[in-house]
Amino acid sequence: MRLLVFFDLPTLRKQDRKYANNFRRFLIKDGFHMLQLSVYSRICKGLDEAYKHTKRISLNLPPKGSVRLMEITDNQYGRMKILIGQRKKEEKSGSQQLLLF
């Protein structure tokens, strides 16, 4: 499964830019990869791990702006359409996780 983070943070004031940059750095440190400037993605092994990262994000929210989370399956993520541009080399098209039953 994937956890997507979408955010729209103010950046007009110097202090707001600092909060926005700190939030981006936190996401990268927590294992998220940038899809677009304000859209980040992370692979999670299941709902428990997704909830763990959701809680971490909640504890590191900037004081202003809008942050949204979405949980999607790897299958849904793999069906994402890129309408302009190309997939980045470091971007994985599908999950490379091993499922053990």
> Is residue 85 in a domain?
no
> Does residue 87 belong to any structural domain of this protein?
no
Percent composition of the chain: helix, strand, coil (DSSP 3-state, to 5): 35, 25, 45
Q: For residue 17, what are the domain limits?
A: 2-78
- Rounded Cα distance, 68 and 66, in Å: 7
pLDDT in tens, 41-68: 999 999 999 999 999 999 999 999 999 9
pLDDT at position 42:
97
22 is a domain residue = yes
Q: Residue 61: helix, strand or coil by DSSP?
A: coil
pTM above the 0.85 mark? no
Asked whether 40 and 29 are in contact (CB, 8 A), the reply is no
Q: Is residue 92 part of a domain?
A: no
Q: Is residue 90 part of a domain?
A: no
CATH number at residue 56: 3.30.70.240
Determine the average pLDDT of the residues in 60-86: 92
High-pLDDT (> 70) share of the chain, %: 87
Q: How confident is the model at residue 101 (pLDDT cuts 50, 70, 90)?
A: very low
Mean pLDDT across the chain: 89
**Tokens found for residue 21:** 């940059």
* 98 three-state secondary structure: coil
